[in-house]
Amino acid sequence: MLQATLDRFIQLKADEVRTIYFVEIEGLEFLFRPLKFDEYKFVNELDRFLDGANVNDTLLRLAVYHCSHLEGLEGWLVSGKAGHPDFLAQAILDLSGFQNPEDFVKLVNEKRAEAAQVHSVIETYICSAFHSIRPEEVANMTLEDQLVLFAKAEQALGNPVDFEQIFGLDKKDGKDDKKRPQADPRSMPVPPGYETTAPEVGNILSPGVADLPEWGSANKGQ
């Protein structure tokens, strides 16, 4: 990866861009993201007014963050080989996932699995108890700051989580087990509209099933 491409990638991550893809086409490097749904609808509407090449060019202007061509993306669109912009535009459409039901189902299941990981459980508790806090804000906190809010969220929601059980750790003080009520994973609060993911959350918190959280997991394509 060229230094300019790496610098742009680092800046995008600093700006909290969640999903970034990288591709190289005949020595040129590109950074891009999937389309948002409103953008996808807009691009489809352009089919009524523009030819395919101009529609694809518009799509690329929406989604491409970086092109290593000396004159940037616009220079590449003018001087690049025929078919290459169309190839990249189709790749972006495919990665956006709005056209393929199989990809949609696969992505839903991936996100359900991610929502059942411990760090996502912490995020869910915090956002459920403190409605003014957004998930992105939780992600930008240190672990200690997260756990300060998580402990308060447990108290507010009245449903503590037994992390010792989740991680398979031995209890240090047996007396605590009698004083502290055991959490029922099936009753874990979930955000409105995500109620159907509750069984998966319950499964991941069951003894012998839960794994350590993937603290270092990254967005795909990074």
Structure tokens at 2: 């060229």
Task: Give the lowest-confidence range in 66-80, 125-139, 208-222.
Answer: 208-222
Taking residues 56-61, report their average pLDDT.
92
List all residues 6 or more positions away from 187 whose beta carbon is below 8 Å from its beta carbon: 159
Q: Are 64 and 32 in contact (CB under 8 A)?
A: yes
Between 169 and 130, the more confident residue is 130
Q: Which residues pair with 31 in a beta bridge?
A: 22, 66
Average pLDDT over residues 33-39: 91
Rg, the chain, Cα only: 22
Mean pLDDT, rounded, for 12-25? 89
Q: 139 with 122: CB under 8 angstroms?
A: no
Share of the chain above pLDDT 70, in %: 77
Instruction: Convert the pLDDT of each residue in 62-93 to its tens digit.
Output: 999 999 998 899 999 988 788 899 999 999 98
Kindly state the average pLDDT of the residues 35-64. Answer: 89
Share of the chain above pLDDT 90, in %: 34
pLDDT over threshold 90, residue 197: no
Mean pLDDT of 121-145: 91
Which of residues 205 and 194 earns the better pLDDT score? 194
Interatomic CA distance for residues 35 and 32, integer angstroms: 9
DSSP string, 15-76: TT----EEEEETTEEEEE-PPPHHHHHHHHHHTTTS-HHHHHHHHHHHHEEEE-STTHHHHH
Asked if pLDDT for residue 37 goes beyond 50, the answer is yes
Q: 133 pLDDT exceeds 90? A: yes
Question: How confident is the model at residue 217, as a pLDDT?
Answer: 42
What is the model's pLDDT at position 32? 94
- Provide the mean pLDDT of the chain: 79
What pTM value is reported for the model?
0.57
The yes-or-no verdict on residue 149 having pLDDT over 80 is yes
Q: Which residue has the higher pLDDT, 120 or 80?
A: 120
Given a contact cutoff of 8 angstroms between Cβ atoms, the answer to whether 166 and 118 are in contact is: yes
